[in-house]
Amino acid sequence: MSNWKKLAEAGHGYVEALTATADGAVVGYRLVGASSGPQVVVAGICPASEHVFDRLLAIPTLSWIRGILVLIRIEALDNLLSVLPSVLASGEIDRTLVLPFSDAEQADGRVIRRSCHRVLRAWASLGMISGRGLPRGQEG
């Protein structure tokens, strides 16, 4: 079971499952940080994106972020419009990141690592985290 499912099932107050209105399937999660701040949407378009989400959700201090993080598995959506109102309910989206597509059967560790670093740099540029110790690179 992935980290995001474990967090939601454990009843952490800062995790909310986003479900499709048509069939109630979980298509993503919203994590509300410790204080107010920007809202970032990270959209994955292939099964490898779940590895990126799991890695981000494994960060021990994730609940301390400033703002809101929305993780959406686009390939799990039958109709994007069915979940969009629940994403927009928490306010304006400050940044949207779309993770790269990988058609490989197994997730490429480099792609996962680069995608995680890209998301972390975006958080740092928006002031959601301090960003100390992040590898240099373009935010993307």
Q: Which residues contact 63 (CB under 8 A, 6 or more apart)?
A: 12, 14, 31, 33, 34
Q: For all residues of the chain together, what is the average pLDDT? A: 77
More confident residue, 9 or 50: 50
Position 139 scores a pLDDT of: 45
CB 30 within 8 A of CB 70: yes
Q: Which residue blocks in 1-108 are alpha helix, DSSP H?
A: 3-9, 48-57, 80-88
pTM over 0.85: no
pLDDT band of 126, cuts 50, 70, 90:
very high
Residue 115 located in a structural domain? yes
Residue 8 located in a structural domain? yes
The number of domains in the chain is: 1
Position 77 scores a pLDDT of: 63
Residue 136 located in a structural domain? no
> Is it the case that residue 82 has pLDDT exceeding 70?
no
Residue numbers of the domain that contains 89 = 3-126
Residue 132 located in a structural domain? no
Gap between the Cα atoms of 17 and 49, Å rounded: 17
Residue 131 located in a structural domain? no
Which residues share a beta bridge with 32? 68
Question: At 85, is the secondary structure helix, strand, or coil?
Answer: helix
> Is it the case that residue 80 has pLDDT exceeding 70?
no
pLDDT band of 7, cuts 50, 70, 90:
low
Position 89 scores a pLDDT of: 62
CB 136 within 8 A of CB 117: no
Position 46 scores a pLDDT of: 79
CA-closest candidate to residue 30, choices 84, 91, 87, 80 = 87
Which residues share a beta bridge with 28? 18, 72
